[in-house]
Amino acid sequence: MTTTARPRRRIRPLTAALTSVAGTLGITVALVATGTLSVAQGGGDRGARQLGDPDYGVCRGVDVRCYHDWGNFDTSKGFKVLLYTRTAGPRHANLGPALGTGLNPPVSDANVVQKALLRMGSDNGFQVDYTEDVTQLASAAALFKYNAVIFFSTSRDTLDDAAQTSLRQYIRGGGGFVGVHNAFGTEYNWPWYEGLLGNANFYDHGPAQPGTVRTVNSKDASTKSLPRRWEFSDEWYNLVPAPTRVRVLAEVDETTLARGVKGNYHHPGHGDDHAVAWCQYYDGGRAWLTTLGHDAKAFSTDGSFPGAAEFQKLILGGIESAMGKKPFCT
C-alpha cells in the first residue's frame, strides 16, 4: 500500500508566536513573573518607557526551538573561546594598550581584561584565544573553532564586512556569543547585531558609583551561586532600545544609586526594571549579555573591590553556558 508522507509541521518563529498572543493579559502576567518581559514594555512604575521593540526578522527569545543544533561543535575536544577586544572608538582603561596583529599577541599587566580571561579559562578548563585583529574573524570556518565568541568592551564599527558576515553565519550555525559592557557601544548601525544584544544599545550612563545588584533569576548557570543582593560599582548603562523577549538575570536597584541614574545625555534611567544581565536564543545561536564590567578592579581577587567575586562568577557562568559547557538560559 502506498502512503503519502504527511507534510512536516513548520514551527513558527518565536517572534510570530508572541505577536499572536500579545493581547492576552494572562500571557503578559506570566512573562512578567518569569522575567522574560522586556524592559521597554514597562513592567515597573518608574523610568524611561517606549524605548522600541523592532522585529529583526529572526527567531529570538527564550524558546530553545530558536537554537540550531547542527553539529558544528565537537565538545569531546574540549572547550575554546575567542576574546575580541578591538576598539574603533573610545577604549576602556581595563583593556590596556591596543594589541598587535594576529592571534594571542603579547600582553602587559595593563591588559587587565585579557589576562583575567586567560586566567579564568585556565582555572576552569577552557582555552582562551584573544585578538584585536579583525582578520581573525574573516571566515565562519575560523569562528567555528570556538564554542563562544566574547566581545568585551569593543567599540563603534569594530567589524568589517567579512567579519560581520562570518559572525552572522557562526551564530546561525549554533555559535555562542557573550557581550560584556561596551559591546553595547558597538556596531550601532547594524540592526542584526542590536538584536543579538537582545534588542538593546548603549545610550548613556550616569556617574560611576556603587549600587546594589538584584539577582532576579537564580536558576541560570551565571547566577545560581550569587546572593539575592550584592554590592558592585559601575557606570550603570542606560539603554535605547532596552532589551525585549529575553530572560532577565540581574538588575540594579536604582534606589541604591546615591548619585542618581540620570545619564550624561539625560536618559532618566529604567526605574524598577533596570536590567544589567540577560540571555536569549538568537537566529540559531546563544547570546549571554551584561552591561557590567567598567572597572579594572572588577577582576581583583583580594577582596578590595565589593562585588568583584560575584561579577567574576556571573561572567564565568555566562561564558560556560553560552559555549554549551553548562545549561543555557534556564
Q: Domain limits at 20?
A: 14-322
Residue 5 lies in a domain: no
Residue 212 lies in a domain: yes
Q: Are 239 and 51 in contact (CB under 8 A)?
A: yes
Instruction: Compute the distance between CA of residue 147 and CA of residue 141 in angstroms, rounded to an integer.
Output: 12
Residue 169 lies in a domain: yes
pLDDT value at residue 70: 97
pLDDT value at residue 51: 83
Beta-sheet pairing, 148-152 with 176-180: parallel
User: What is the three-class DSSP state of 281?
Assistant: strand
Specify the pTM.
0.88
Residue 244 lies in a domain: yes
Residue 261 lies in a domain: yes
Residue 4 lies in a domain: no
Give the residue ranges of the chain where pLDDT is below 50. 1-35, 37, 41-43
pLDDT value at residue 39: 54
pLDDT value at residue 328: 98
Residue 327 lies in a domain: no
pLDDT value at residue 45: 57
Residue 8 lies in a domain: no
Beta bridge partners of 210: 233
What is the domain count for the chain? Answer: 1
Q: What is the per-residue pLDDT across 91-107, written as a single tens digit (0 to 9) for each?
A: 999 999 999 999 999 99
CA 295 centroid distance within chain: 18
pLDDT value at residue 36: 55
CATH number at residue 72: 3.40.50.880
DSSP H/E element including 163: helix 161-172
